[in-house]
């Protein structure tokens, strides 16, 4: 009983947490370079719809993922133009991007609602998937789930072990100083946003190609905003984002599991669980966080940017 409960919780956390992880990574890359993107929701929707429609038309979900990633990257370039080149208010631009993403994705996806796809199916790894218990917990997923942690590591490596990443973070801390040190802040920020867009597009694609295997308007249901909170929760660190995404994904899955088990708590209170949990954790870990905030980002949050 306990075993099956554990299996359900963990596999649910991994499953629901994967799009959150990609989304959090996306936002982390952007925020590390000093840019807050509240339009992540829009990027994910574009990724979801492009991924879905491409898969419907080509029959190949991998092409769908690719197309979604590309679409996300390009869509974020619009945002980049506004906040980097035009120095527009980041928060308002983000919300505008979200509206655009919602509307655009609805228009693109309208004629594809109700289409069937094979989607991203689970990939069985010979030997590993057959291990009792552990096999079901960790080796029974689609490739986007398997590649989520490697991608997180890749992002970490890019940001903390390459010169490019160093420049990116320098821009995030203090663009003027970075500029004086010979970096090109604008170019770095554009590059960062492109990568962030790719990650966001993949997050959306996972929702439509792997989890739901369908397209519905606004199917991200706020997950983009949750990712923005998760970035802070994970102190802008790609590896800690894994924990955050798992926690939140786990909370979503947990409340549904609890309902399925007949736990006598109102479904609405259970629904609140993920958000309250995030708030509590945010509050508890506030101290160390202030130092972890990228310098120029602090100004965005204080409104003085």
Cβ–Cβ < 8 Å for 228, 27: yes
Residue 118 CB, nearest approach to other proteins (Å) = 10
Is 8 among the residues that bind other proteins (CB under 8 A)?
A: yes
Cβ–Cβ < 8 Å for 28, 237: yes
Cβ–Cβ < 8 Å for 203, 19: yes
Cβ–Cβ < 8 Å for 272, 254: no
Distances from the Cα of 215 to the Cαs of 39, 50, 180, 206, in angstroms?
19, 10, 47, 11
Residues numbered 136-155 forming contacts with other proteins, rule: CB under 8 A? none
Is 127 among the residues that bind other proteins (CB under 8 A)?
A: no
Q: Which is nearer to other proteins, 163 or 290 (CB)?
A: 290
Residues numbered 178-207 forming contacts with other proteins, rule: CB under 8 A? 207
Is 20 among the residues that bind other proteins (CB under 8 A)?
A: no
Is 114 among the residues that bind other proteins (CB under 8 A)?
A: yes
Is 7 among the residues that bind other proteins (CB under 8 A)?
A: yes
Residue 301 CB, nearest approach to other proteins (Å) = 4
Is 129 among the residues that bind other proteins (CB under 8 A)?
A: no
DSSP string covering 200-247, please? HHHHHHIIIIIIS-S--TTTTTTHHHHHHHHHHHTTT-HHHHHHHHHH
Q: Which is nearer to other proteins, 23 or 165 (CB)?
A: 23
Is 292 among the residues that bind other proteins (CB under 8 A)?
A: no
Is 16 among the residues that bind other proteins (CB under 8 A)?
A: yes
Residue 153 CB, nearest approach to other proteins (Å) = 25
Residue 208 CB, nearest approach to other proteins (Å) = 8
Q: What is the distance between the alpha carbons of residues 131 and 126, in angstroms, rounded to a whole number?
A: 10
Is 291 among the residues that bind other proteins (CB under 8 A)?
A: no
Cβ–Cβ < 8 Å for 12, 138: no
Of 176, 286, 257, the C-alpha closest to 13 is 257
Is 56 among the residues that bind other proteins (CB under 8 A)?
A: no
CB atoms within 10 A of CB 216: 17
* Pair of tokens at residue 132: 């009792």
Residues numbered 231-270 forming contacts with other proteins, rule: CB under 8 A? 232, 252-253, 256-257, 259-262, 264-269
Is 102 among the residues that bind other proteins (CB under 8 A)?
A: yes
Q: Which is nearer to other proteins, 117 or 195 (CB)?
A: 117
Of 260, 281, 256, 282, the C-alpha closest to 271 is 256
Q: Which is nearer to other proteins, 4 or 176 (CB)?
A: 4
Q: What is the distance between the alpha carbons of residues 58 and 53, in angstroms, rounded to a whole number?
A: 9
Q: Which is nearer to other proteins, 166 or 217 (CB)?
A: 217
Is 213 among the residues that bind other proteins (CB under 8 A)?
A: yes
């Amino acid at each position: 009983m306990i075993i099956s409960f554990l299996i359900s919780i963990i596999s649910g956390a991994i499953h629901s947490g994967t799009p959150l992880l990609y989304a959090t990574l996306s936002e982390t890359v952007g925020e590390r370079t000093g840019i807050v993107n509240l339009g992540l929701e829009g990027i994910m929707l574009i990724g979801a719809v492009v991924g879905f429609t491409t898969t419907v038309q080509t029959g190949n979900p991998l092409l769908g993922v690719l197309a979604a990633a590309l679409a996300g990257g390009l869509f974020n370039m619009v945002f980049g133009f506004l906040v980097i080149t035009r120095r527009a208010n980041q928060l308002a631009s983000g919300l505008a991007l979200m509206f655009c993403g919602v509307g655009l994705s609805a228009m693109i996806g309208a004629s594809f609602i109700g289409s069937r796809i094979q989607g991203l199916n689970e990939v069985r790894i010979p030997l590993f998937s057959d291990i009792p218990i552990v096999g079901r917990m960790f080796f029974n997923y689609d490739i986007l789930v398997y590649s989520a942690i490697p991608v997180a590591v890749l992002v970490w490596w890019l940001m903390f072990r390459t010169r490019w990443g160093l420049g990116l973070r320098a821009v995030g801390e203090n663009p003027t100083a970075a500029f004086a040190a010979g970096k090109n802040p604008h170019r770095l920020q554009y590059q960062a946003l492109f990568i962030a867009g790719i990650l966001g597009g993949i997050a959306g694609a996972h929702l439509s190609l792997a989890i739901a295997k369908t397209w519905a308007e606004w199917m991200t249901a706020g997950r983009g905003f949750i990712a923005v909170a998760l970035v802070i929760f994970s102190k802008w660190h790609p590896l800690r984002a894994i924990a955050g995404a798992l926690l939140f994904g786990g909370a979503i899955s947990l409340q549904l599991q609890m309902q399925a088990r007949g736990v006598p708590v109102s479904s609405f209170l259970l629904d609140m669980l993920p958000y309250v949990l995030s708030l509590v954790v945010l509050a508890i870990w506030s101290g160390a966080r202030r130092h972890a905030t990228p310098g120029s980002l602090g100004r965005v949050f204080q409104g003085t940017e």
